Amino acid sequence: MLNLDRPETKFAVDIVRQASQLVKQVQAEMVSPALTKDDRSPVTVADFASQALVGWALIETFPDQPLVGEEDASELRQPAEKLTLEQITQFVSRFVPQSTPEKVCSWIDHGTGEPAKCFWTLDPIDGTKGFLRGDQYAVALALIVDGQVQIGVLGCPNLTGGYKPDAEGSGTLAIAVRGEGAWLTSLEADADPYQELHISDIAVPAQARLLRSFESGHTNISQIDYFAQELEVEVEPVRMDSQAKYVLLAIGKGDLYLRLLSSKQPDYREKIWDQAAGSLIVEEAGGQVSDLYGKALDFTAGRMLLNNRGILASNGHLHSQALQALRAIHA
């Protein structure tokens, strides 16, 4: 059973709720149809503001626990970024009234910590292109102790009920605590009940629902097609940006998720903040997460999963068959 009285669990739930509200406000106020394709200013503001808010909260609550985040404030300190920093400060000040540009930069830089015996890792916005399209993205926070993810929380503002895209809905907060299961509630109200998550019981590869991204990014689109052919998958894939896909897998609305190596970046290694929260949510819901060779994810190697290549997440029932298919397409 989920123990919401544990200080670390309460902290993670509260701050992901707040950070998700913040980035949703940025999306609502700065992302518009008039936005040019190359204008990433809304996601820049949201990314930095989200990390600043989490950095501030961690300093206030667990000052001795490092934060390993995606961003640092060096660029924001340049004179050319003065307006951007002012926008970031304005959004953060809605949650932390004493915010100043200098303080905001220091809170962001709290996320430049290094992995330790006990530390937090944050992706302030996972799925930036989904964010800019007004689609799916997530705030991802995890607590790692002795190289093992202990708490994982995903805030998905444009996902309702854990699987329905809905920009006007109450959003989804998914949380897993090691040994306490994976759970789902809304982003909006503490009073909402928590629903325990369970993976699907699909065991026939032809019936598997592949969770796929809209964006190619670091994965290999053509090899995913070969993978689906090898498994003789007959079902249409579910397309969604960000670690929100992990929530769909945990709630049983998808069965397989892959991050294959792109031929353009064959040496790419996953960042820990891109996988920590979502992987624990899937595992605590009864699923399985490994790299493409079946190795458990190794969070002891720093800011990246240096000892792993790619990602395979499944409902567990399909994992061995998926690994066999991967071996076939790499043969």
pLDDT in tens, the chain (331 residues): 899 999 999 999 999 999 999 999 999 999 987 667 678 899 999 999 999 999 999 999 999 999 999 899 999 999 999 999 999 999 999 999 999 999 999 999 999 999 999 999 999 999 999 999 889 999 999 999 999 999 999 999 999 999 999 999 999 999 999 999 999 999 987 768 999 999 999 999 999 999 998 765 545 557 888 999 999 999 999 999 999 999 999 999 999 999 998 778 888 999 999 999 999 999 999 999 999 999 999 999 999 999 999 999 999 999 999 999 999 987 6
For the chain, counts of helices (H) and of strands (E): 9, 14
Model pLDDT, residue 299: 98
Q: For the chain, what are the domain ranges?
A: 7-196, 205-330
Model pLDDT, residue 32: 81
Active site residue 47: yes
Active site residue 201: no
Rounded distance between C-alpha atoms, residue 210 and residue 213, angstroms: 10
- φ, ψ (nearest 5 deg) of residue 120: -105, 150
Q: How far is CA 292 from CA 111, 248, 261, 329, in A?
A: 29, 20, 9, 12
Query: 182-235, pLDDT tens digit by residue?
Result: 999 999 877 689 999 999 999 999 999 999 987 655 455 578 889 999 999 999
**Cα–Cα–Cα angle for 141, 147, 149, nearest 5°?**
35
Of 113, 45, 37, 112, nearest in space to 76 by CA = 45
Model pLDDT, residue 221: 59
Model pLDDT, residue 146: 97
User: 205-330: which CATH topology?
Assistant: D-Maltodextrin-Binding Protein; domain 2 (3.40.190)
Give the helix/strand (H/E) hosting 322. Answer: helix 319-330
Catalytic residue among 128, 172, 185, 219: 128
By CB neighbour count within 10 A (0-12 exposed, 13-18 middle, 19+ buried), where does 53 fall? Answer: buried
- List CB contacts of 90: < 8 A, sequence separation 6 or more: none
Query: 229-254, pLDDT tens digit by residue?
Result: 999 999 999 999 999 999 999 999 99
User: In the CATH scheme, what is the code of domain 7-196?
Assistant: 3.30.540.10
Catalytic residue among 44, 47, 126, 241: 47
Q: Is 38 in a helix, a strand, or coil?
A: coil
Tokens of 276: 């920590």
